[in-house]
Chain A
Amino acid sequence: MRMSDEFTLKISGTPKPEGESVYLGNAAMAGEHPSSASAPVYLGKTPEGAEPVAEPSPAVLASAAEMPEEEAPVAEPAAAEAVYSAAETEGGAPEGAPDKKKKEKTPLSKMEKKILWKDRFNRYKAWLYLLPALVILAVFTVWPIINTLRIAFLENYSGLASIGGETFAVGFRNFENVVHFPSFLTCLGNTMLLTVITVPISTMLALLIAVGLNSIKFLRRIFQTIFFLPYVTNAIAIGMVFMAMFNMIMVSPTVPPHSYGLINTIIRAFGGKEINWVNAGSSYWANMAVLIIYIVWNALPFKILVLLGGLQSVNKQYYEAARVDGASRFRIFWRITVPLLSPMIAYVVITGFIGGFKEYTSIVGIFGETMGPAGADGRLNTMVGLIYDSLEDDFMGMASAASLILFLIIFAVTMVNLYVSKKKVHY
């Protein structure tokens, strides 16, 4: 036996830690391991007891795996036979393990190899399962991120031809260009404004709707479906519908318009004066209002889904206790529901901020690629829009720099969010 005394001691001295066992369900096989021949793995049970009480400690298995196969020690035959008979008398063995029985009857050296092979496989199989995902992630996520970092410090980089100078040759000039770009402040301002306004509004609305949905039974399914529809509809299509609804067709600003979209028709029906929401000559805040309505409406389904899920997992007994304690509905909502939902709310707010900073499709959907109503191109541009613009103009360096700036902004805001939620959220 090449087994060192240390291992023997370890086996006999260690009471079996159940959670550590590597060979789950392979106890019989593990029991045949040579190292177990000298160690009392079967705790006080005769081989007829069949069930191996203990399994060899992981350290032993690891040592077996490290041993070169040809040098693997041969087990003492008596002990091996005992295990065999134990395995054979195990009449009630589960039918689902026929190959396990086969293995037990093969000669020991093969057995040994199989254990070694199996051990290696077990240790690395997680990576094997992950491999396809890892490859795809590496190619389509990791490399582009690294490349963005590189390109941000390159000059005259052309995406298709991969022409570029030396990295860091231009230093931070791309970043300077972005910051000094004429529409940079407009884009940054629009992005910030939309995010800061829409996230709280949509979160609060979603919370109210989720609580409402949770407390009704009648028509609940139908309402759920209606609220979730935006989630499954294409953003550009919705944008075009919004444009049509807020539309107002004019020949010229001096002649009264001759056709109205749905919203203005409603306003007129109530005796109000129609508003130029999205057409030429519309005001910035009218545009913003349409965008905010669109974004809030579009953000609701996901938030309702998450919050409703959270609500349904809240123990109903808290509400019963609060009722017995005489809390009003409002206080129950404020003191019980909101705190208990706070993890979900934090999640929804954080993802909402991240999504808000990436706002782009809604504007394209309603106002087209010009990012603004006719005559005011680019007035509603956002950070992502800026990145696209730079790409179209083949300023890859600038686009990368703008992406990194956006990333840093999102990162900082998320950090603030996490910091606040750590203080306020009850997990």
Chain B
Amino acid sequence: MKVVLEHLTKIFPSRNKKDKNAEVIAVNDFNLEIPDGKLIGLLGPSGCGKSTTLFMISGLQAPTGGKIYFGDDDVTKLAPENRGIGLVFQNYALYPHMTVQQNILFPLQNLKGENRLSKEEMLNRANEVAKLVQIDEYMNRKPSELSGGQQQRVAIARALVKMPRVLLLDEPLSNLDARLRLQTREEIRRIQRDTGITTIFVTHDQEEAMSISDFIVVMKLGVIMQTGKPQWVYDDPANLFVAKFLGAPPINMFTGKVQDGVLYLGEEGVLEVPGVEDQEVFVGIRPEGFISNPEGRLSCKVTGIDVMGRDISVVSKHENSINPLVRSIISADEIKNVSGEIARFDLKPHKVFLFHKDTEARIHFGDQIAAHEEMVAAMAAEGQGYVVHEGPLPREQDDKEKENRASEQPKGPFAKLKSRLGKKNKPAAAEAPAAPEASAEAPAEKAEDAPVPEERDGETK
């Protein structure tokens, strides 16, 4: 079942109805087409509106604006039970007083009229689905007698048993330990492949989303930042936020400038970037984008070397780095190249991303232009429109807003804690002396409407 979201918007009114500024735009003009039978990961930091989007698709929350289509049916106004969806909650919400079997049977027993199955059929269906998720041995246990992973599978079975048109998973793995998480995500992938049900799942863990999704949708503050196959999004981030959000260890960010087709980090010209006008830029270099070379053009002060078996990770400092440390991963064979205090690197052009200093949008250069066009064409062939956020990003306004709020309201029981958290969460780029004055002033009025992320997190759940 194809799922189409058109201009989907959700605004949570402020508690104090007169105070318009406190209302929270959880999802902002969300347009997405999800092809039939695919597994889609909604990915973003907490408070970005991904769970709200999911709950709107499920029907548990009514959208403020926009439409939702399942196939050709407009389901925007339909009650959840009539949409034909299966929903798995973050903490599973298994009925504690029922056995596994009763839990799985419950949705079937609610069917009425023609759809009502005979008792035998119900049992058969429940057994079938229990086998699919491999919990058929535990049918007579209560949820409390199961491990987290087993509970998770029961929840999936309960969602699948009525053969939903769309399966929705809300952070399905966040309550599991690391090992179970790996196992269960493979399991979810397998179940989704076996059933072919269009599945949308929400996560804040980029690794999780990238490993099992057919497509990922990266969100920030209710706005889609980029969609695409995980590898594409990783290799060709549309803007600074996406580049920083994906990848572990995270991308290394620098401030730099382009002059005469050469990228300069500080005094050193480190890479030819043909086709880019002279300007100041943000530079993102993936940790695997470094080539150790004693005659390399980029020099860093080494502070430590982590040996990780096959690879080594060189931790160093660079004066133009936005992060405190630069982490570069090179093959263990090249360790001989790193000696003394200065490490020298060359850069792989396809692992270096340039971003506009003001809009933070990506600036393609050289071979990247062709690669990007190829990817857009490939996406179109897959039936997936290339969605990318255009125009200024909401972040600067937000940070301004956050600072304003912090300075305005130092009182309150958790003021200290909040301000400390706020500092931690603040993206590193904002601390760079780069906040463009012009763009900050222009959306100043807008900024008043901009929500405070911490509040939103609570509201969406």
Contact = CB atoms under 8 A, between A and B. Distances in A.
Interface of A: 315, 317-318, 320-328, 331, 335-336, 339-340, 342, 426
Contacts of B89: 317, 320-321
B153 interface: no
Interface stretch (B93-101, B217-225, B283-291, B446-454): B93-101
Given A317-B89, A320-B60, A321-B87, A326 B110 contact: yes
B60 A325 contact: no
Contact of B97 (A320, A325, A342): A342
Contacts of A325: 81, 106-107, 110, 158, 162
B94 to A, nearest CB: 8
A321 B93 contact: yes
B243 interface: no
A336 B95 contact: yes
**Interface majority SS (helix, strand, loop, mixed), chain B:** loop
Contacts of B82: 326
A327 B110 contact: yes
Most buried by A among B58, B95, B98, B109: B95
Given A325-B158, A326-B81, A326-B111, A318 B106 contact: no
A336 B158 CA distance: 15
B329 interface: no
Contact of A326 (B58, B93, B98, B107): B107
Given A331-B109, A340-B97, 10 more contacts: A320-B87, A322-B95, A323-B79, A323-B80, A324-B87, A325-B158, A326-B80, A335-B106, A340-B96, A342-B97
Contact of B85 (A320, A324, A327, A328): A324
B368 interface: no
A317 B93 contact: yes
A323 B97 CA distance: 17
Contact of B81 (A317, A318, A323, A426): A323
A320 B93 contact: yes
A320 B106 CA distance: 14
B80 A339 contact: no
Interface in B71-96: 79-82, 85-87, 89, 91, 93, 95-96
A73 B85 CA distance: 75
A317 B95 contact: no
Contacts of A326: 80-82, 107, 110-111, 162
12 contacts: A315-B93, A321-B93, A321-B95, A324-B80, A325-B106, A325-B162, A326-B82, A326-B110, A331-B110, A335-B106, A339-B98, A342-B97
Nearest to B115: A326
B97 A339 contact: yes
Contacts of B60: 320, 323-324
Most buried by B among A315, A324, A326: A324
Nearest to A340: B97
Contacts of A327: 81, 106, 110
A373 to B, nearest CB: 47
A335 to B, nearest CB: 7
Contacts of A336: 95
B58 A324 contact: yes
Interface string B27-50: 000000000000000000000000
Contacts of A324: 58-60, 80-81, 85-87
A320 to B, nearest CB: 5
Nearest to A318: B93
A368 B60 CA distance: 57
Most buried by B among A320, A322, A326: A326
A344 to B, nearest CB: 13
- Lowest 6 CB-CB distances: which A-B pairs, in order? A326-B81, A426-B97, A325-B107, A339-B97, A317-B93, A321-B93
A336 B86 CA distance: 18
Interface of B: 58-60, 79-82, 85-87, 89, 91, 93, 95-98, 106-107, 109-111, 158, 162
Contacts of A340: 96-97
A336 to B, nearest CB: 7
B85 A317 contact: no
B101 to A, nearest CB: 14
Contacts of B80: 323-324, 326
B85 to A, nearest CB: 7
A4 B179 CA distance: 48
A318 B97 CA distance: 11
Nearest to B81: A326
Given A317-B91, A320-B60, A426 B110 contact: no
A420 to B, nearest CB: 16
A426 B85 CA distance: 29
Contacts of B95: 318, 321-322, 335-336, 339
Contacts of B96: 340, 426
A195 B59 CA distance: 46
Contacts of B93: 315, 317-318, 320-321
Most buried by B among A328, A335, A339: A335
Contacts of B111: 326
B358 to A, nearest CB: 43
A337 B91 CA distance: 19
Contacts of B87: 320-321, 324
Nearest to A332: B110
Contacts of A339: 95, 97-98
A200 B214 CA distance: 56
A328 B85 CA distance: 16
Contacts of B59: 324
A326 B58 CA distance: 12
A322 B109 CA distance: 11
A426 B79 CA distance: 30
A140 to B, nearest CB: 41
Contacts of A315: 93
A196 to B, nearest CB: 27
A317 B55 CA distance: 12
Nearest to A321: B93
A328 B91 CA distance: 23
B416 to A, nearest CB: 19
Contacts of A335: 95, 106
Contacts of A321: 87, 89, 93, 95
A326 B60 CA distance: 12
A326 B95 CA distance: 14
A331 B112 CA distance: 12
Nearest to B106: A325
B218 to A, nearest CB: 27
A324 B93 CA distance: 12
Most buried by B among A317, A336, A339, A426: A317
A426 B102 CA distance: 14
Nearest to B161: A325
A273 to B, nearest CB: 46
Contacts of A317: 89, 91, 93
A327 B107 CA distance: 7
B385 to A, nearest CB: 29
B357 to A, nearest CB: 45
A415 B106 CA distance: 33
Nearest to B85: A324
B106 to A, nearest CB: 6
A324 B81 CA distance: 5
Nearest to B61: A320
B102 to A, nearest CB: 9
A320 B95 CA distance: 11
A320 B58 CA distance: 10
A339 B103 CA distance: 13
A393 B86 CA distance: 72
A106 to B, nearest CB: 38
B105 to A, nearest CB: 10
A59 B253 CA distance: 57
A199 B89 CA distance: 38
A217 to B, nearest CB: 14
B389 to A, nearest CB: 31
Contacts of B109: 331
